[in-house]
């Protein structure tokens, strides 16, 4: 798909990977950004005057319903939906810093909101040919680590959801793609890990995957992770338990 003159919805487009996607796509396309941070949305509008912004808490179902109604009224068709927004809480269940309320927030933001947006924006996606739903996933969907158990679970669920949704939409104009990312240098990963890929490089890779219509796009070290899982699942599990 040539990414020119497309209407593209991006969640979490005010920072990190989402912001880099906006930077690289806004000049040739109509970009719609969804984020919960009003200040960042205002700065985004100042930097990219053509970008349309909506403030919404993706952890709240009613907010997503209201937002989707607004988007469909103002944009009859959508070419691409990029589900990029996510949150990650690192404490384990045994950690005194673990917060019970974060469980629901993490699941709703990382998984439930994607299911909801996909369903609610489906009429607009069906209105144009071809169209794409791209779910930004993680290598942790393939091999979970010790910390961030809820995050890993939401990414695993997103992987299964994406595959099943692809079956459901097989006879429509909509392609369902996934992009599996390694550790990326963003605010979410601050203070964790080494040898991170930059958000700019990852955004470029995501765009390349869309253009080349790659259904399961492994970025960076995720390629090696998938190979390692095939060769020695037990060894991979031992490695991931260290993190």
DSSP secondary structure, 111-162, as one string = IIHHHHHHHHTHHHHTTSSSEEEEEEEEGGGTS--SS-HHHHHHHHHHHHHH
Q: Residue 39: pLDDT above 90?
A: yes
Tell me the β-bridge partners of 33: 10, 53
Contacts of 21 (CB under 8 A, 6+ apart): 10, 13, 82, 84, 203, 206, 207
Tokens of 227: 């190979």
**E strand or H helix that includes residue 26:** none
The whole-angstrom separation of Cα 213 and Cα 209 is 6
> Where do the structural domains in the chain lie, given as residue ranges?
7-240
Q: Is 7 helix (H, G, I), strand (E, B) or coil?
A: strand
In the predicted model, what is the mean pLDDT of the chain?
95
pLDDT reported for residue 187: 77
Fold of 7-240: Rossmann fold (3.40.50)
Contact 217, 178 (CB under 8 A): yes
Q: What is the pLDDT of residues 78-135, one digit of tens each?
A: 999 999 999 999 999 999 999 999 999 999 999 999 999 999 999 999 998 899 999 9
Query: Whole-model pTM?
Result: 0.94
DSSP string, 155-219: HHHHHHHHHHHHHHTTTSSEEEEEEEE--EESGGGTTS-SSPEEHHHHHHHHHHHHHTT-SEEE-
Q: How far apart are CA 210 and CA 219, in angstroms?
A: 13
192: pLDDT strictly greater than 80: no
pLDDT at residue 79, rounded to an integer: 98
Q: What is the pLDDT of residues 46-61, one digit of tens each?
A: 999 999 999 999 999 9
- Cα angle at 36 between 31 and 39, to 5 degrees? 85
Q: Is the pLDDT of residue 190 over 80?
A: no
Name the percent of the chain lying above pLDDT 70: 99
Confidence band of 194 (pLDDT split at 50, 70, 90): confident
User: For residues 167 and 185, what is the distance between their CA atoms, to the nearest angstrom?
Assistant: 33
* Residue 195: predicted pLDDT: 77
Phi first, then psi, for residue 89 (nearest 5°) are -110, 125
pLDDT band at 191 (very low <50, low <70, confident <90, very high): low
Is pLDDT of 149 > 70? yes
In this prediction, residue 17 has a pLDDT band, given cuts at 50, 70 and 90, of: very high
């Amino acid at each position: 798909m040539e990414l020119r003159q497309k209407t593209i919805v991006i969640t979490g487009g005010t920072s990190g990977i989402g912001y880099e996607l906006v930077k690289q796509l806004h000049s040739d396309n109509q970009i719609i950004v969804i984020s919960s941070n009003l200040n960042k949305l205002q700065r985004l509008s100042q930097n990219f005057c053509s970008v349309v912004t909506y403030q919404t808490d993706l952890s709240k179902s009613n907010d997503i319903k209201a937002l989707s109604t607004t988007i469909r009224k103002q944009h009859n068709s959508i070419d691409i939906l990029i589900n990029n927004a996510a949150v990650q809480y690192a404490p384990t269940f045994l950690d005194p810093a673990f917060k019970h309320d974060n469980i629901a927030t993490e699941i709703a933001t990382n998984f439930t909101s994607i299911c909801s947006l996909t369903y609610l924006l489906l009429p607009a996606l069906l209105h144009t040919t071809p169209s794409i739903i791209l779910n930004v996933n993680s290598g942790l969907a393939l091999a979970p680590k010790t910390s961030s158990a809820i995050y890993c679970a939401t990414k695993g669920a997103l992987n299964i959801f994406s595959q099943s949704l692809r079956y459901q939409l097989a006879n429509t104009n909509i392609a369902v793609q996934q992009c599996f990312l390694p550790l990326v240098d963003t605010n979410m990963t601050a203070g964790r890990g080494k040898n991170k890929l930059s958000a700019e490089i990852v955004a470029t890779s995501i765009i390349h995957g869309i253009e080349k219509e790659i259904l399961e796009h492994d970025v960076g070290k995720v390629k090696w992770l998938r190979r390692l899982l095939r060769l020695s699942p037990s060894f991979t599990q031992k490695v991931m338990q260290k993190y």
